[in-house]
């Protein structure tokens, strides 16, 4: 009975659904796996770079916003923690992984950069340019420095690979592969690649990827659908595998050099393994083993972690396919993971005015929800008495992507930030007209924000900047006043990514990417306490009304409840930690991205991830591993006794297509924002047409 | 001449050639295939059957070359024995008695004195792979009871077992798992695919397995058409596989080439697929092989492949994927609607063959002569499709005409009928479509018969149909200003009280036509088409109808559905006699008065042979088959037998063949199985089985002699022919297997002297008496043949032979006979 109100509300909200023009989906261009920290860097075609922590259930813990002119073509890790990217604007960029901004950009002066590789020892960086030059850079502790050019080739260098000893490199160009000696910088071999494709001569054969193995074998993948093995000592072709009718676009070799993975434009990922010819001989050969078809479009990038094959492409999915033979125990890592949606909130809502603010890469959209007067049963779609309105379309100035945005609960303020500028707008509602007024003269310290939050009464604005500081600003009619800046803890420069404010406006909770959650007292403007640090990053934060309990969701699907006034975990949280969560709950795919509360039902916690919406009723007993977690709607004809007996604290609804946002507007209304996958696919360019038997 | 034995029912050829994989000899000259209780040795070059290895007493279930002596062949059978053969001479060397039903046979070069067989010991479908130690002994028949168990719970089909890496391991597949047993480690690894409970993998059952000859790689075929290549299978965790997918239906068999560079696969698509380097993109096809590929095998020399097909044929294929030879047996995989017929020209058995075809099957040589495409439409192999079916066929006018009826009925009301009349073309030696009649009747045609009487110069055909009519079709002149032509038109339509016409039959002289209308038999005058009289016995619908022959031509016989056999006298128009007999098959012997009737009882089928003039049967054989007999036919003998016993006299002129429901072709024989087969095939060697065309004589062996005596006249050359060819000492030397020949020093003088030019060839015969005796036997055989061959010979060249005959020695005579056998009919065509 307790859930029916919420579900009824959900029926209403779906009736008031908003139909919008979708922005183009942004495909994955490069992936780079870092073995030391078990992190994965992913760059997208708009220049966005995302960092996934593979140890923390593949949580997207950091991201660097994109830039229109900064299309990345290559991404690589150096010396463990340093991340470099290079792109078509000819610049090499290093990212600051602590402050989450760009450290510096160096122009390579070779035209667009197509490829980049870090030497095995991590001290040198090699880039391949449009003009056919291969440039060697020295990596110094805080910068990179140009060292010299290699012999210039005729056409662009599309792929680069170091020999594990660091003495030679292989460079893939158009129609040929060159082998350079690093010492002299001269080409040792030039290996021509066959242009023929299934008997038909294509115009050009582009070497999309090369890999140099320690035994001197070079593996190349090209636009004619071939995977070829070359002997670098003699410069001869050893073996040829024709695997696709279209381009083979990417290759990644495991560290042990016993397996590699290639991605094709048909969306197929092929796994190659080095197997012994017979069990009693030492002779080994490369064999194509399993094909994986998890993508519909081009697989532009692949990576090979010790236990998994990682692939990403135009269809925006990042797919992590574990290698079953490498997985020791069946756990979270043993299942196929497909990451499609960002692990952060892109939508905010104004409860008072029923407004939704959608954040896109280069614009914001403000919508007013429709409403209905009709009533119906659970699951009914009700007719709208008033349609949803598109109130505002706010385009950013400049080439930079929006980092974050927020609308105040009263609906009269909008704030957003790009990498270099912070914007605050005042909205005025006059009947049906709406006017927008930019608040000018933002202070110098408010240049860039990682997270913005308005207080419940819309009088205060909290901004997490990328230096790790938290600014508190009082909002007045048309102007503002800087109240206070909470400086980061001594010694750390870690940026805060998540903010939560208590409804009474007394407490502010902030969390970074790894360290614990800090709770600040806003009235006294000081740090109140720090929640004990936990191994996994925080994915969502919220403070409950009245009780001021802080609810924290972590990427390993644990949920904690921490009492701010008592500075300790609540009794319920201790109980659930003692008993443990249901195994199915822990096996879920996506992190919890939003937590909210029902103002009239203090025992309820509302939370959602991309595939489910859950109400945790703290008054009910916890489920154990034997009970059914995902209970279907209890049949109405059963008696209340049975229903009560089978009821447990987790009430889960999985009816949603991928769910981006869900919040309670008022006591009887819940708003949900879905993003159907079909809509994303519909925006993509058509995939390569393949003839299928029987069609 | 032939000892009187009791008449037995014997299988006569038409056995499945595709029951097991065919095996090539080491030099790819011969191909071995199982055929019922026999093993047949065919020449890969000429398709001819060279030897029939007989000795097993039950179905042969496996053949393999002896890995230690490639001139020997092992075979195993349901009779529980493993036999070792010398296939070059067709000699049984040894018999190993295992005593259990053997389902398949495998040999390994590494296991010298043992073979592997599949047996089932305990439960009916639990099969085991065991190794049988073959004891070394000089005796012919040896007990081999030393079995050692290898794998349990395997599939009984030999396609599901494969030995790899020179016998280091054996792979077996069943249902959803692959098990690999390593002989050295004595361990079994098992790899399971997710079963059909998972809907996505609904049909990934294993169907067959093959091992790479050089590498540790196992290929498995699956029900959903996928081929998986397994590697690293010695490690339970690190194993890996890759998929090849082209087949849309079950993979029936897989084979690696000898070097392992390519993999061959086949299935219901009737396309042989060659996967080169085991890559998905690099494949070659040999399409349109006619029927489902059941087995694939590869010659040890690597130059040939062969595929066994569901229509009982073996195709020998070159390494470059070109079909080079077809060994075709009796096609069995369709319903027989037409019944058994005998082509009057070739004496071949004619019946339904491939879908839409009539097959001409030579009983003598147990091979298909040719296929006649009747329906002439592309056959689409898809379950649920309603196909056009060839339902009736009849020969007329001594094989000059062939009438066929095809029908297709999708719904009750939509019947498509077509009658085709085919004329025999002497030039092309085949049937040519002459007339096509669409919807000859409104309803199913129940019978059709030609008037075969000699006095009728105008060919006449009668069809009877369920629409209540019978129609008479005659051949008329269809010439126009462009060409002379003949065609068939309907001459007369008869009916009787709207009853369905169920049977029709002409009397022997063609003067009367009997048509049965359900329970009533009507007799019509074939000149005026007047209804002469009717017979009605009220004993149920008439199922069979036939006139008596020769002295009994005044009788008409009818068998009804209620199990009554009636005989009417046409002179008195009265019932002569009737008997209670549930007749299933009634066939008159064309060469005698005898009529054979097969009745069905609860335990089996019984044969009755009788003359219409007397109700007492001449011969009764109970229980000729457990199954229902569907069709029977009398095939005239080339050489009449002379059974003195009264009971067997009915077999003197003709032989009776019948077909059971499971399509086993059976006949009656008095000979022991060893004698039954044609003796000519016994000593035929591959090179001698080349067709003896005139070109063969001009260009073949005789070339050398022509060079020698180039100035000699043609006649004298004929006389000289035998000199080098048929001297017994030479043929003995050349044709006797090396291991039974005496030492070379002993033979030398004989051989050299035989080469000397002597005036009298008799001198060479005197040298060895035993050779002479053999020679005598051989010529006896050929004498027998000649009775037949002389009859069908053209006269232009026999004259020449007869003149010379009186002055020729025995061997010369033989050579001449051989020469005479040559078909010179092609000269008349020129």
Which residues are registered as beta bridge partners of A616? A605, A650
In total, chain A counts a number of residues equal to: 695
Q: What percent of chain B has pLDDT over 70?
A: 80
Of A241, A273, A693, the CB nearest to B279: A241
The whole-angstrom separation of Cα B236 and Cα A479 is: 71
Torsion of CA A327, A333, A338, A339, to 10 degrees: -140
Q: What angle do CA B747, B753, B758 make, to 5 degrees?
A: 150
pLDDT at A171 exceeding the cut of 60: yes
Q: Which DSSP symbol is given to B666?
A: E
Residue of B nearest to A241 (CA): B279
B275 touches A at CB < 8 Å: no
Alpha-carbon distance values, B820 to A30, B429, B802 (Å): 84, 21, 10
Higher pLDDT, B200 or B626: B626
B240 and A277: CB-CB below 8 Å?
no
The whole-angstrom separation of Cα B157 and Cα A566 is: 75
Tell me: the pLDDT tens digits for A312-321? 998 889 999 9
> Exposed (0-12), middle (13-18) or buried (19+): which is B108, by Cβ within 10 Å?
middle
Considering Cα of A550, then A551, then A553, then A554, what sign does the dihedral take?
positive
Per the CB < 8 A criterion, the answer to whether B125 and B118 are in contact is no
Residue B295: strand, helix, or coil:
strand
Kindly report each contact of residues B599-604 with a partner whose C-beta sits within 8 Å and lies 24 or more positions away, as own/partner.
B600/B628, B600/B629
B187 touches A at CB < 8 Å: no
Residue of B nearest to A197 (CA): B281
Chain B residues in contact with A276 by the CB 8 A cut-off are 216, 232
B243 and A290: CB-CB below 8 Å?
yes
Q: How far is B106 from chain A (nearest CA, A)?
A: 22
The whole-angstrom separation of Cα B179 and Cα B198 is: 21
pLDDT of residue A265: 92
Tell me: the pLDDT tens digits for A57-115? 889 888 899 888 888 999 999 987 899 999 999 999 999 888 888 999 999 998 999 99
**Could you identify the residue written with the tokens 């708009």?**
A46
B241 and A289: CB-CB below 8 Å?
yes
Phi-psi region of A30 (alpha: psi -120 to 50; beta: other; left: phi over 0): beta
Chain A residues in contact with B282 by the CB 8 A cut-off are 242
Chain B residues in contact with A243 by the CB 8 A cut-off are 279-281
pLDDT of residue B804: 44
Alpha-carbon distance values, B583 to B201, B534, B591 (Å): 52, 22, 22
Tell me: the pLDDT tens digits for B73-113? 999 999 999 999 999 888 899 999 998 899 999 999 888 78
ipTM of predicted complex: 0.80
Residue of B nearest to A272 (CA): B242
The whole-angstrom separation of Cα B476 and Cα B474 is: 6
Q: What percent of chain A has pLDDT over 70?
A: 91
Mutate to test the interface with B, among A239, A256, A275 (most CBs of B within 10 A): A275
pLDDT at B706 exceeding the cut of 80: no
B240 and A288: CB-CB below 8 Å?
no
pLDDT-based confidence at residue B197 (cuts at 50, 70, 90): low
Alpha-carbon Rg for chain B in angstroms: 31
Q: What angle do CA A686, A689, A695 make, to 5 degrees?
A: 120
B281 and A273: CB-CB below 8 Å?
no
pLDDT at A438 exceeding the cut of 90: no
Strands A422-430 and B430-438: unpaired
pLDDT-based confidence at residue B783 (cuts at 50, 70, 90): very low
B701 phi/psi in degrees, rounded to 5: -65, -25
Q: How far is A242 from chain B (nearest CA, A)?
A: 6
Phi-psi region of B375 (alpha: psi -120 to 50; beta: other; left: phi over 0): alpha
pLDDT-based confidence at residue A385 (cuts at 50, 70, 90): confident
Per the CB < 8 A criterion, the answer to whether B584 and B605 are in contact is yes
Of B214, B231, B248, the CB nearest to A275: B231
Higher pLDDT, A490 or B474: B474
Alpha-carbon distance values, B642 to A279, B347, B610, B637 (Å): 69, 21, 19, 11
Tell me: the pLDDT tens digits for B611-622? 888 888 888 888
B218 phi/psi in degrees, rounded to 5: -115, 130
Taking residues A229-236, report their average pLDDT.
93
CB pairs under 8 A between A and B: 57
A325 and B242: CB-CB below 8 Å?
no
Strands A507-512 and A496-501: antiparallel
Per the CB < 8 A criterion, the answer to whether B762 and B727 are in contact is no
What angle separates helix B728-735 from helix B744-755, to the nearest 10 degrees?
140
Q: How far is B256 from chain A (nearest CA, A)?
A: 16
Q: How far is B282 from chain A (nearest CA, A)?
A: 8
The whole-angstrom separation of Cα A659 and Cα A656 is: 6
pLDDT of residue A5: 32
Residue B718: strand, helix, or coil:
helix
A277 touches B at CB < 8 Å: yes
- Distance from CA of residue A410 to its chain's centroid? 30
Q: How far is B104 from chain A (nearest CA, A)?
A: 27
Q: How far is A693 from chain B (nearest CA, A)?
A: 8
The whole-angstrom separation of Cα B214 and Cα B216 is: 7
Chain A residues in contact with B243 by the CB 8 A cut-off are 290-291
A436 touches B at CB < 8 Å: no
A293 touches B at CB < 8 Å: no
B215 and A278: CB-CB below 8 Å?
yes
A290 touches B at CB < 8 Å: yes
pLDDT of residue A198: 60
Of the candidates A144, A123, A126, the one whose C-alpha atom is nearest the C-alpha of residue A135 is: A126
Q: Count, in order, helices (H) and strands (E) of chain B.
A: 12, 57
Of the candidates B541, B183, B529, B543, the one whose C-alpha atom is nearest the C-alpha of residue A279 is: B183
Considering Cα of B93, then B97, then B103, then B108, what sign does the dihedral take?
negative
Residue A1: strand, helix, or coil:
coil
A288 and B279: CB-CB below 8 Å?
yes
Tell me: the pLDDT tens digits for B485-498? 888 999 899 989 88
Phi-psi region of B341 (alpha: psi -120 to 50; beta: other; left: phi over 0): beta
A291 and B239: CB-CB below 8 Å?
no
Which residues have CB under 8 Å from B289's CB, separation 6+?
B266, B270, B271, B272, B307, B309, B315, B323
pLDDT at A485 exceeding the cut of 70: yes
pLDDT of residue A4: 32
Chain A residues in contact with B216 by the CB 8 A cut-off are 275-279
**Could you identify the residue written with the tokens 């996958």?**
A677
Higher pLDDT, B296 or A392: B296
Higher pLDDT, B799 or A613: A613
Higher pLDDT, B643 or B795: B643
Considering Cα of A673, then A676, then A679, then A684, what sign does the dihedral take?
positive
Residue of B nearest to A246 (CA): B281
DSSP result, B795-810: HHHHHHHHHHHTT--H
Taking residues A216-240, report their average pLDDT.
93
A291 and B243: CB-CB below 8 Å?
yes
pLDDT of residue A272: 93
B541 touches A at CB < 8 Å: no
A287 touches B at CB < 8 Å: yes
pLDDT of residue B675: 47
**Could you identify the residue written with the tokens 């005989």?**
B567
Taking residues B509-538, report their average pLDDT.
87
Which residues are registered as beta bridge partners of A340? none
Per the CB < 8 A criterion, the answer to whether A92 and A105 are in contact is yes
Chain B residues in contact with A277 by the CB 8 A cut-off are 214-216
Which region among A680-689, B33-42, B206-215 has the lowest average model confidence (pLDDT)? A680-689
Q: What percent of chain B has pLDDT over 90?
A: 25
pLDDT of residue B761: 47
Chain A from 306 to 365: CB within 8 A of any B CB: 325
Of B215, B231, B237, the CB nearest to A325: B237
A242 and B242: CB-CB below 8 Å?
no
Higher pLDDT, A161 or A344: A161
A325 and B280: CB-CB below 8 Å?
no
pLDDT at B165 exceeding the cut of 50: yes
Per the CB < 8 A criterion, the answer to whether B693 and B822 are in contact is yes
Q: What is the mean pLDDT of chain B?
A: 81
A398 touches B at CB < 8 Å: no
Which residues have CB under 8 Å from B728's CB, separation 6+?
B754, B764, B765, B768, B771, B772, B774, B775, B811
A198 touches B at CB < 8 Å: yes
B450 touches A at CB < 8 Å: no
Residue A13: strand, helix, or coil:
helix
pLDDT at A638 exceeding the cut of 60: no
pLDDT-based confidence at residue B363 (cuts at 50, 70, 90): confident
Tell me: the pLDDT tens digits for B668-690? 877 654 444 443 334 444 344 45
Which region among A363-367, A479-483, A679-683, B801-805 has the lowest average model confidence (pLDDT)? B801-805
Mutate to test the interface with A, among B229, B242, B263 (most CBs of A within 10 A): B242
For A571, the enclosing helix (H) or strand (E) is: helix A571-579
Residue of B nearest to A277 (CA): B215
Chain B from 2 to 21: CB within 8 A of any A CB: none
pLDDT of residue A56: 86
pLDDT of residue B152: 87
DSSP result, B405-462: EEEEESSSS-EEEEEEEEEEETTTTEEEEEEEEE-SSSS-EEEEEE---TT--S-EEE
Chain B residues in contact with A225 by the CB 8 A cut-off are 281
Mutate to test the interface with A, among B213, B228, B240 (most CBs of A within 10 A): B240
The whole-angstrom separation of Cα A170 and Cα A179 is: 5
Higher pLDDT, B200 or B429: B429
B281 touches A at CB < 8 Å: yes
Alpha-carbon distance values, A250 to A26, A265, A270, A527 (Å): 18, 9, 10, 49
**Could you identify the residue written with the tokens 């990179």?**
A144
Higher pLDDT, A18 or A69: A69
Higher pLDDT, B364 or A570: A570
Which residues have CB under 8 Å from B690's CB, separation 6+?
B46, B696, B700
Q: B16-48 burial by CB neighbour count: b if 16+ within 10 A, else e?
A: bbbbbbbbbbeebbbbbbbbbbbbbbbbbbebb
Chain B residues in contact with A693 by the CB 8 A cut-off are 248
Higher pLDDT, B223 or B768: B223
Per the CB < 8 A criterion, the answer to whether B617 and B610 are in contact is yes
Residue of B nearest to A285 (CA): B215
B240 and A241: CB-CB below 8 Å?
no
Chain B residues in contact with A288 by the CB 8 A cut-off are 242, 279
């Amino acid at each position: 009975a307790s859930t029916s109100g919420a579900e009824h509300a959900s029926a209403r909200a779906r009736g008031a659904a908003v139909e919008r023009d979708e922005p183009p989906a942004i495909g994955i261009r490069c992936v780079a796996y870092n073995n030391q920290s078990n992190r994965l860097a992913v760059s997208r075609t708009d220049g966005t770079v995302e960092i996934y922590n593979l140890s923390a259930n593949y949580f997207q813990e950091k991201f660097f916003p994109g830039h229109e002119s900064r299309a990345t073509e290559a991404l690589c890790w150096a010396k463990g923690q340093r991340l470099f990217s290079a792109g078509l604007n000819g610049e090499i960029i290093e990212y600051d992984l602590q402050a989450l901004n760009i450290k510096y950009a160096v122009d390579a002066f070779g035209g667009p950069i197509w490829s980049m590789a870090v030497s095995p020892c991590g001290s040198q960086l090699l880039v391949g340019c449009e003009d056919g030059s291969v440039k060697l850079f020295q990596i110094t502790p805080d910068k990179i420095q140009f060292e010299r050019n290699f012999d210039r080739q005729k056409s662009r260098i599309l792929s680069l690979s170091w020999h594990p000893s660091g003495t030679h490199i292989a460079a893939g160009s158009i129609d040929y592969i060159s082998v350079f000696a690093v010492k002299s910088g001269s080409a040792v071999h030039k290996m021509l690649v066959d242009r023929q494709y299934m008997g038909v001569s294509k115009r050009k054969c582009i070497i999309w990827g090369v890999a140099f193995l320690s035994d001197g074998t070079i593996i190349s993948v090209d636009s004619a659908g071939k995977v070829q093995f070359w002997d670098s000592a003699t410069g001869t072709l050893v073996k040829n595998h024709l695997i696709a009718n279209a381009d083979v676009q990417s290759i990644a070799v495991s560290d042990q050099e016993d397996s590699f993975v290639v991605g094709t434009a048909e969306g197929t990922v092929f796994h190659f393994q080095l197997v012994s010819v017979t069990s009693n001989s030492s002779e080994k050969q490369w064999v194509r083993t399993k094909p994986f078809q998890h993508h519909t479009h081009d697989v532009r990038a692949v990576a090979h972690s010790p236990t998994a094959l990682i692939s990403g492409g135009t269809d925006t999915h990042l797919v992590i396919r574990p290698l079953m033979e490498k997985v020791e125990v069946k756990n979270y890592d043993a299942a196929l993971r497909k990451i499609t949606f960002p692990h952060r909130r892109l939508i905010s809502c104004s409860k008072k005015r029923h407004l939704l603010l959608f954040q896109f890469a280069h614009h914001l959209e403000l919508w007013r929800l429709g409403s209905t007067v009709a009533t119906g049963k659970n699951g009914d779609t009700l007719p709208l008495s008033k349609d949803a309105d598109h109130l505002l379309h706010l385009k950013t100035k400049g080439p930079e992507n929006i980092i974050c945005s927020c609308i105040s609960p009263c609906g009269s303020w909008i704030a957003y930030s790009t990498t270099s500028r912070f914007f605050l707008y005042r909205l005025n509602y006059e009947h049906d007209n709406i006017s927008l007024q930019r608040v000018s003269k933002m202070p110098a310290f408010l240049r860039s924000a990682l997270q913005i939050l308005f207080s419940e009464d819309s009088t205060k604005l909290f901004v997490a900047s990328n230096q790790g500081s938290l600014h508190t600003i009082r909002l007045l009619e048309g102007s503002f006043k800087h109240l206070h800046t909470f400086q980061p803890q001594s010694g750390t420069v870690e940026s805060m990514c998540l903010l939560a404010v208590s409804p009474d406006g007394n407490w502010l909770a902030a969390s970074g990417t790894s360290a614990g959650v800090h709770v600040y007292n806003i009235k006294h403007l000081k740090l109140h306490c720090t929640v004990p640090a936990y191994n996994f990053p925080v994915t969502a934060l919220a403070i409950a009304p009245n009780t001021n309990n802080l609810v924290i969701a972590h990427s390993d699907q644990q949920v904690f409840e921490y009492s701010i006034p008592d500075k300790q975990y609540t009794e319920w949280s201790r109980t659930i930690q003692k008993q443990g969560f249901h195994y199915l709950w822990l096996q879920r795919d996506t992190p919890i991205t939003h937590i909210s509360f029902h103002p009239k039902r203090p025992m309820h916690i509302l939370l959602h991830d991309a595939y489910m919406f859950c109400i945790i009723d703290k008054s009910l007993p916890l489920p154990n591993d034997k009970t059914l977690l995902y209970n279907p709607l209890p049949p109405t004809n059963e008696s209340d006794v049975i229903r009560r007996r089978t009821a447990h604290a987790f009430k889960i609804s999985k009816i949603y297509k991928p769910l981006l946002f869900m919040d309670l507007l008022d006591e009887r209304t819940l708003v949900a924002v879905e993003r159907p996958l079909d809509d994303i696919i519909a925006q993509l360019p058509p995939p390569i047409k393949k003839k299928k038997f029987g069609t | 001449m032939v000892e009187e034995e009791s008449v037995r029912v014997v299988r006569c050829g038409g056995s499945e050639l595709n029951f097991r994989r065919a095996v090539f000899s080491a030099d790819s000259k011969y191909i071995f295939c199982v055929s019922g209780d026999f093993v047949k040795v065919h020449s890969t070059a000429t398709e001819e059957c060279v030897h029939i290895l007989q000795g097993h007493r039950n179905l042969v279930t496996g053949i393999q070359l002896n890995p230690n002596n490639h001139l020997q062949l092992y075979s195993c059978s349901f009779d529980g024995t493993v036999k070792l053969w010398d296939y070059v001479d067709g000699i049984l060397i040894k018999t190993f008695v295992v005593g259990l039903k053997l389902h398949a046979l495998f040999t390994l070069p590494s296991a010298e004195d043992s073979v592997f067989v599949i047996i089932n010991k305990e439960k009916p479908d639990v099969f085991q792979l065991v190794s049988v130690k073959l004891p070394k002994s000089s005796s012919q028949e040896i007990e081999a009871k030393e079995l050692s168990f290898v794998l349990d719970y395997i599939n009984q089909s030999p396609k599901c077992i494969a030995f790899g890496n020179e016998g280091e391991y054996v792979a077996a597949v069943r249902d959803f798992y692959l098990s690999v047993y390593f002989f050295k480690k004595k361990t079994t690894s098992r790899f399971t695919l997710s079963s059909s409970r998972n809907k996505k993998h609904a049909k990934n059952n294993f169907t067959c397995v093959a091992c790479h000859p050089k590498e540790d790689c196992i290929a498995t075929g699956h029900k959903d058409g996928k081929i998986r290549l397994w590697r690293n299978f010695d490690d339970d965790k690190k194993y890996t596989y890759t998929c090849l997918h082209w087949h849309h239906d079950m993979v029936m068999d897989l084979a690696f080439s000898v070097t392992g560079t390519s993999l061959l696969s086949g299935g219901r698509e009737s396309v042989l697929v060659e996967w080169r380097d085991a890559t998905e993109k690099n494949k070659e096809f040999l399409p349109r092989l006619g029927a489902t590929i059941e087995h694939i095998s590869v010659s040890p020399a690597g130059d040939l492949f062969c595929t066994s097909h569901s229509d009982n044929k073996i195709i020998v294929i070159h390494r470059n994927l070109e079909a080079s030879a077809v060994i075709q047996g009796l096609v069995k995989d369709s319903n027989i609607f037409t019944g058994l017929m005998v082509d009057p020209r070739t004496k071949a058995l004619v019946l339904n063959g491939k879908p839409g075809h009539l097959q001409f099957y030579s009983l003598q040589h147990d091979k298909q002569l040719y296929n006649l495409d009747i329906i002439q439409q592309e056959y689409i192999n898809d379950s649920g499709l309603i196909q056009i079916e060839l339902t009736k066929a009849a020969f007329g006018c001594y094989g000059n005409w062939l009438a066929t009826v095809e029908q297709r009925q999708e719904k009750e009301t939509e019947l498509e009928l077509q009658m085709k009349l085919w004329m025999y073309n002497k030039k092309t030696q085949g049937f040519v479509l002459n007339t096509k009649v669409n919807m000859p009747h409104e309803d199913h045609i129940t019978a059709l018969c030609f008037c075969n009487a000699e006095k009728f110069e105008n060919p006449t055909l009668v069809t009877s149909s369920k629409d209540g009519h019978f129609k008479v079709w005659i051949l008329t002149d269809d010439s126009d200003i462009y060409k002379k032509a003949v065609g068939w038109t309907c001459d007369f339509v008869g009916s009787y009280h709207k009853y369905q016409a169920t049977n029709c039959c002409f009397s022997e002289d063609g003067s009367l036509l009997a048509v049965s209308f359900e329970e009533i038999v009507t007799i019509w005058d074939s000149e005026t088409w007047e209804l002469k009289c009717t017979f009605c016995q009220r004993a149920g619908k008439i199922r069979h109808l036939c006139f008596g022959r020769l002295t009994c031509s005044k009788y008409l016989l009818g068998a009804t559905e209620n199990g009554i056999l009636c005989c009417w006298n046409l002179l008195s128009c009265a019932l002569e006699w009737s008997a209670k007999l549930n007749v299933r098959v009634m066939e008159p012997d064309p060469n005698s008065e005898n009529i054979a009737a097969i009745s069905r009882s609860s335990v089996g089928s019984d044969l009755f042979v009788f003359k219409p003039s007397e109700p007492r049967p001449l011969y009764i054989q109970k229980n000729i088959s457990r199954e229902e007999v569907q069709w029977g036919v009398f095939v005239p003998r080339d050489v009449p037998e002379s059974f003195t016993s009264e009971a067997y006299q009915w077999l003197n002129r003709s032989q009776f063949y019948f077909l059971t429901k499971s399509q086993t072709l059976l006949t009656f024989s008095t000979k022991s199985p060893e004698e039954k087969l044609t003796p000519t095939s016994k000593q035929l060697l591959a090179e001698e089985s080349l067709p003896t065309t005139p070109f063969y004589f001009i260009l073949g062996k005789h070339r050398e002699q022509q060079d020698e005596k180039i100035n000699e006249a043609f006649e004298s050359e004929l006389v000289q022919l035998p000199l080098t060819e048929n001297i017994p000492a030479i043929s003995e030397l050349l044709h006797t297997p090396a291991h039974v020949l005496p030492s070379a020093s002993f033979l030398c003088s004989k051989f050299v002297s035989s080469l000397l030019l002597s005036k009298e060839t008799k001198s060479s015969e005197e040298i060895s008496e035993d050779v002479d005796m053999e020679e005598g036997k051989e010529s006896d055989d050929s004498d027998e043949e000649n009775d037949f061959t002389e009859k069908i010979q053209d006269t232009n060249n026999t004259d020449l032979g007869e003149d010379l005959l009186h002055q020729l020695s025995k061997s010369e005579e033989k050579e001449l006979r051989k020469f005479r056998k040559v078909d010179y009919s092609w000269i008349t065509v020129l």
